[in-house]
Amino acid sequence: MSDEERRQIRPRSMTRRYRRGLILVGVLCVVATLTAATLLFQRSYTGHVDRYLQALCTTLSDAYRLAGDGNADALADLAGDTGVRCTLIDGDGTVLYDSESTAPLTNHADRPEVRQALESGAGSSTRQSQTMGRETHYYALRLDTPAGTQILRVGEEVDNLWGLSADTLPLLIGALVVILLGAGLLSAWLTRLLVQPINRLAENLDTIEADVPYEELIPLARTVQTDRKLRENNETMRREFTANVSHELKTPLTSISGYAELIETGMAKSADVPAFAARIHKEAKRMIALVSDILQLSELDSTQAARGTPPDMGPVDLAALVKEIAQTMTVNARKAYVTLQYDARPATVEGCRDQLVELTTNLCDNAIRYNRPGGHVDLRCGVGPDGCPYLEVEDNGIGIPQDSQSRVFERFYRVDRSRSKATGGTGLGLAIVKHIALLHEARIDLQSQVGTGTTIRVTFPQKN
């Protein structure tokens, strides 16, 4: 399913889901309760019937024995008031008497309760009746009479589980109707009670974490609050960035426009044209450097936002990189009357070489720009005691005040704006360093003291 199709799908209503869930739980509870009650009642009832038949059969057998002659007529007199079916069976299975049938019956020798009674003296069985939803319980005793071995059997027809269910069906339907009505009302009240606090959260986003109604929503509230603050910070940074870019571009453009206008209108003397052209060239180079840094920051932002990795990742020899940067930056250091030295010890990191070159160049360039004539810059690399490769730039320049150290990696932030203008910095160098370090999962440590100098160390993760 595409993202567009997902967006077109209407979200499900939590209120309706709560309501349906509560109604379904109510109905299931009623059905389960009635089913369990029916099972327990049927089991208890049939057990009671079996015990009653056993007691009745024992009583009838005792009374029949007292008659003494084993005549079926004696049983007929006894069975008339029992209310159950009584049957007298000869030892070979011939039915001698049945209280519910005057017609001759088939041989009962194959009946389970009869066989059990002949073998062990007593037997019982249950058989489904011809009537749907009913069953007949039998209990039989073996009797030794003057007429020979006989079987006295009693039986009673009772409702089975299906019969009981059919009897309770109207009750079940009535209970379901009542439960549905009650569950509908209760679920409407409960869902309103549960959902209203959640709806109110949107009205107080500033204090969403303090107003969370349920502890299960705390992670969501924190995420919303964090995302909101991040969006506000990003919006603030965007406005500041736009204002800073406009300001940084306006100054050189104003100079270029002014000098070009003087040359165009002929107001500039011939002797001044080369100087004006040189200034135009200088300001244009400054603009090019600024635009280049902005484009690079934009590319780094895109890579970081996509949670991607820098292109061309691979092993990078920090020692070779440090030597190369030291040689490249020596000319700039000499122009500023600063001594540049390096100490390149073996160290390898997993990263993008071009970006690491940019990081090291920006650190060295800052150390040279914010130094004094006669100062020095030391560029070092190696592996620390913890096994992590590091890159370090140390200078004895003007230093950074304590209150500015946490902000020097922000875009366009300058400790000394007048000096930045004089040295031609764009104010984006350390911001680029920060982004490259983040993409390489590196840590930046800054130590500085005004009038003494600054040391910046970039520590890379240990290579696996």
Rounded CA separation 435/181 (Å): 62
The CATH architecture assigned to 313-459 reads 2-Layer Sandwich (3.30)
* Burial of 260 per CB tally in 10 Å (0-12, 13-18, 19+): middle
Q: Which tokens sit at 321?
A: 């990189």
Sign of the torsion formed by the C-alpha atoms of 380, 386, 387 and 389: negative
The class that CATH gives domain 28-164 is alpha beta
Per domain, the residue ranges of the chain are: 28-164, 221-305, 313-459
The CATH architecture assigned to 221-305 reads Orthogonal Bundle (1.10)
Two domains, one topology: 221-305 and 313-459: no
* pTM (whole model) above 0.75: no
Contact 169, 161 (CB under 8 A): no
Rounded CA separation 10/375 (Å): 67
Tens digits of pLDDT across the chain (464 residues):
455 555 555 566 666 777 777 777 777 877 787 778 777 877 887 888 888 888 988 888 888 888 767 777 777 777 777 778 888 888 888 888 888 877 888 888 888 988 998 889 899 898 877 666 678 889 999 988 887 888 889 888 887 656 556 666 677 677 777 877 877 787 778 777 777 777 777 666 666 666 676 776 777 777 777 777 777 776 776 776 666 667 667 777 888 888 788 888 888 788 878 888 888 888 787 777 777 767 766 776 666 655 555 567 889 999 999 999 999 999 989 998 999 999 999 999 998 888 899 899 989 988 998 888 999 999 999 999 988 999 999 999 888 888 888 788 877 776 665 545 555 556 677 888 888 888 888 999 999 888 889 999 999 998 76
Neighbours of 18 (CB within 10 A): 18
Q: Which tokens sit at 338?
A: 């600063």
Rounded CA separation 262/268 (Å): 5
Sheet holding 389-395, edge to edge: 339-344, 376-383, 389-395, 453-459, 443-449
CB contact set of 443 (below 8 Å; sequence gap of 6+)? 437, 458, 459
Pairing relationship of beta strands 134-145 and 122-128 according to DSSP bridges: antiparallel
